[in-house]
Amino acid sequence: MQETMGTDDPAAKYEILSAEEAKARYHTPDALEAFVYEGGSISSYRFTIGVLKHCLEKGLNLQTNTPVEAIKQADNFDPQAPRWVAKTARGSVQTANLVIATNGYTAHLLPQMQGIIVPLRGQITAQRPGSRLPGFDATYSFIYSHGYEYMITRPPGTPDAGTIIVGGGLRELPNGGASEFGNTLDTDLNKDISTYLYDCTARCFGHNWGSDAKEGRIVKEWSGVMGTSADGLPYVGAMPDMPGVFMCASFNGHGMVMCLKSAQALVGMMEEDGDLEWFPEALVVTAQRFEKRFQGRLDMRAPGEALFDDRSAVNK
């Protein structure tokens, strides 16, 4: 990255800390080492609402609480001038270009994507920090031999400043969390993951956590459905054998990082005159990629190999 982007590019700046350095700087007494690199966080809700407000001012017709029940070709369909119909309970919409941006729910509208884009339910908690923790100016990932958790703190100046947002715990379930793949019930919580996430912060920070806040550790807990793909990459581009249908989906839990530029690339593909040399070819929809069917998460480690112990911290 440094050779390609230059050492002054923030995205190429990395620092490797020893165990003692990591423990002192990031308050993680059981860390084996840490990788420090440029990162950031954003309120996805506030950002999305801001974008929607801007789009509404530009004339967007936004239909809330109106799920698309099915899509079909219009009568007398012509591949050279395609027309598609999106059916909803409030009526149908006909369009020349139809974009599927339904992530983990894609197979509901495109049954051929069953097993190619699979829903995965993830879980998050918002926690009050322990009494001995200082204010954080970094996000964390806690990486261990068979999984990881990620942590973001709400910044100063926000109503919930200092609140710790931590998610993960999937690998603590049997079979690497296989039961959460295919699960679309984002109104429910997995009690085993809840218990694990409740405890993981105090465990990772050890004696640096201190006592819990008098109001209790947990502020809120929720789940959400992600879209995962067989090759671990998003699908961005035109659907094969479906003229006029485009897809921007399957972000594998990295939507806030990848959605915006993926959407920009998709618009370039739809207009057929955009410069897309900057967009990774591996993310473009192809029939060949559809040949890979989902078989669950792969463990890339050799048998018995462990990169970290169960409580080491990697900061970003």
The predicted structure's pLDDT at residue 311: 35
Residues 6+ apart with CB under 8 A from 150: 139, 140, 141, 142, 166, 167, 168
Examine residue 112 and state whether it is found in any structural domain, yes or no: yes
Which token pair is 259? Answer: 């959605």
The predicted structure's pLDDT at residue 282: 96
CB of 129 closer than 8 Å to CB of 302 = no
Examine residue 239 and state whether it is found in any structural domain, yes or no: yes
Examine residue 301 and state whether it is found in any structural domain, yes or no: no
Examine residue 32 and state whether it is found in any structural domain, yes or no: no
Closest CA to 95 of 72, 116, 115, 118: 72
Which token pair is 148? Answer: 């990881």
Examine residue 90 and state whether it is found in any structural domain, yes or no: yes
Angstrom distance (rounded) from CA 275 to CA 277: 6
Domain encompassing residue 199: 66-296+308-316
| Longest distance between any two alpha carbons in the chain, whole Å | 70
Q: Cα angle vertex 231, ends 225, 234, to 5°?
A: 55
The predicted structure's pLDDT at residue 160: 86
List per-residue pLDDT tens for the chain, 316 residues long.
Answer: 889 999 889 889 899 999 999 999 999 999 999 999 988 778 888 899 999 999 999 999 999 999 999 999 999 999 999 999 999 999 999 999 999 999 999 999 999 999 999 999 999 999 999 999 988 888 999 998 878 899 999 888 888 889 999 999 988 888 878 889 999 999 999 999 999 999 999 999 999 999 999 999 999 999 999 999 988 999 999 999 999 999 999 999 998 889 999 999 999 999 977 679 999 999 999 999 999 887 655 544 444 433 333 333 444 4
DSSP codes of every residue in the chain? -HHHH-TTSGGG-EEEE-HHHHHHHH--TT-S-EEEE------HHHHHHHHHHHHHHTT----TT--EEEEEEPTT--TTS--EEEEETTEEEEESSEEE--GGGHHHH-GGGTTTEEEEEEEEEEEPPPTT-----S-EEEEETTEEEEEEEPPTTSTTTTPEEEEE-GGGSGGGGGGGBT---TT---HHHHHHHHHHHHHHHGGGT-SPPTT-SEEEEEEEEEEEETTSS-EEEEPTT-TTEEEEE--TT-HHHHHHHHHHHHHHHHHT-S--TTS-GGGB--TTGGGPPP------SPTT--SS-TT--EE-
Examine residue 38 and state whether it is found in any structural domain, yes or no: no
The predicted structure's pLDDT at residue 306: 35
Domains contained in the chain, number: 1
**Across-strand partners of 14?**
37
Angstrom distance (rounded) from CA 125 to CA 91: 38
Examine residue 44 and state whether it is found in any structural domain, yes or no: no
DSSP codes of every residue in 48-81? HHHHHHHHHHTT----TT--EEEEEEPTT--TTS
The predicted structure's pLDDT at residue 159: 82
CB of 266 closer than 8 Å to CB of 237 = yes
Examine residue 56 and state whether it is found in any structural domain, yes or no: no
Amino acid occupying residue 204: C
Angstrom distance (rounded) from CA 17 to CA 215: 35
Which token pair is 15? Answer: 């620092």
**Across-strand partners of 124?**
167, 222
